[in-house]
Every structure is written in C-alpha cells, then in structure tokens.
Amino acid sequence: MTTSCSLRGNDYFLFIKRQQGKIALLLVYVDDLVITGDINELITELKKMLNSYFKMKDLGELKYFLGIEVLKSKEGILLNQRKYALQLIKDTGLEEAKSTTTLLEQILKLTTLDYDKIVQQDNEDEYNLVEKSAYQRLIGRLIYLTYTRLDITYAVNFLSEFMQQPKRSHIEAALRVVKYVKKEPGQGILLKSSSSCQISAYCDLDWGSCPMTRKSVTSFCIKIGDSLVSWKSNK
C-alpha cells in the first residue's frame, strides 16, 4: 500500500480506500465481503492485498448477499428479497392462502393485554395469548424484510410493540402482513443509475395516534436523487 492511499473504517463493517481521487469500498459481515468501487484496477489491488493476509474466494459479480438479491440493468440496481419472502410465506403455511392488498384493517385497534383489562373489554377471544417465541420470530423476520420493503415498515413497527404478550389478534395481523407480501414478493428498491446527488427528505406525523400511550408515530424517508436510501417509522 502506497502512502497516497489509506484503508479507513467509517463504521464497524464499512471500510473505504482512496487513491489518487479514486475510491474502493469494502463491506464486511462475519466472513462475507462485498467489494466495489469506481475503477477496476483499485478493486483488483484491494483484493490482492486482502488475499495476502487471509485466504479468500472470489465469487464474481455480486448477485446475492445476506438474503438480498442484486439485479442490474440500464435503469440501475434493483435490491429485493424475493427468495427470503417466498421462504417466509412457505414457513408460515400461507402458500395456498389468498393474498391481500392492504396491510392492516382500518377498523382494527390492537392493544396490549394490560390495556384491555384497564378498559374492561369483554371479548374473551382477545385474552387468548399465543406462543410468544413464535410471534417474536415472525416479527423478527418481517423486520429484516423491511430492509427492501418500505411499504411494510409502519405495520411491522406497530406489531413489534406486542412481542411481550402477543394475543391471537396480533398474530392474525402479522400473518396478514405476510399475505400482503405474497401479492408482490419481488418488490424492492431501485437505485437509479441516472439519479442526481441532490438529497431530499420527507416526514409525516400521526399525532397522539396510540390508544394506549397517546404518543405520536413519526415516519421519514430520505432520497438521493430519485433513489430511496433510508426510511424509518417509530413511536
């Protein structure tokens, strides 16, 4: 490595190498690596340097990484989790179920068990608890699906509030999200090749929407050009 280049970590998993105005990026997860950059010579040099320290296997052009499929075209790069979504549908036994076009029923008011007792609801079905670990696993898998599915972010964040005492209504709502995903399992995020570098951000607020705490729900998304790069929904 010459004095004109450096390998620095901006995060625990992302390293950046700059040399004579060019750049190479190294993304690390356990024993998996993704290397990219704006010039092939710098990428090749980085591979050789890493291979001199430990044994590496070059799998070629990136197509699949951590459950995320990478598809390239003239329009840009499409990131989706189709294979992951189909496996989720299979594991939940919803392969033959009819898909839905909406995430949550508009009239559905999900609450915690403690709140139900406070307001003295008489619906006995609401007090039927389901296996907590099964509900937590399902929500965890849906959370990972939000990495490329902006459209389910709010619903998954909302359902994650009930992981300590999940009821039958909660698991039914979570399975409805899976049915929604089934409608278009390959939907993802397109990082456009023609995007500008202009950053734009949008946010929305549902004031006092939580019936239990009266807290607000805030959501935002950030775009670079026409490409969506960050989003979140939380109470």
β-bridge mates for residue 191, sequence order? 77
DSSP states of 42-81 as a string? HHHHHHHHHHTTS------S--EETTEEEEEETTEEEEE-
DSSP reduced 3-state for 217: strand
Q: What is the pLDDT of residue 210?
A: 66
Q: How far apart are CA 163 and CA 156, in angstroms?
A: 11
Sequence-separated contacts (24+) of 1-5 with Cβ below 8 Å: 1/49
pLDDT tens for 124-179 read 555 566 788 899 999 999 999 999 998 999 889 889 888 888 888 889 999 999 99
Q: How far apart are CA 92 and CA 100, in angstroms?
A: 15
Q: What is the pLDDT of residue 3?
A: 27
Q: What is the pLDDT of residue 201?
A: 94
Per-residue pLDDT of the chain (235 residues; tens, 9 = 90+): 332 344 454 567 888 888 888 888 998 888 888 998 888 888 888 888 888 888 888 888 889 988 899 999 888 999 999 999 999 999 999 999 999 998 887 656 776 665 554 445 545 555 566 788 899 999 999 999 999 998 999 889 889 888 888 888 889 999 999 999 999 999 999 988 876 889 999 998 887 666 666 778 888 899 998 888 888 888 7
Q: What is the pLDDT of residue 113?
A: 60
Q: What is the pLDDT of residue 140?
A: 95
Q: What is the pLDDT of residue 105?
A: 76
Q: What is the pLDDT of residue 205?
A: 83
Q: What is the pLDDT of residue 142?
A: 96
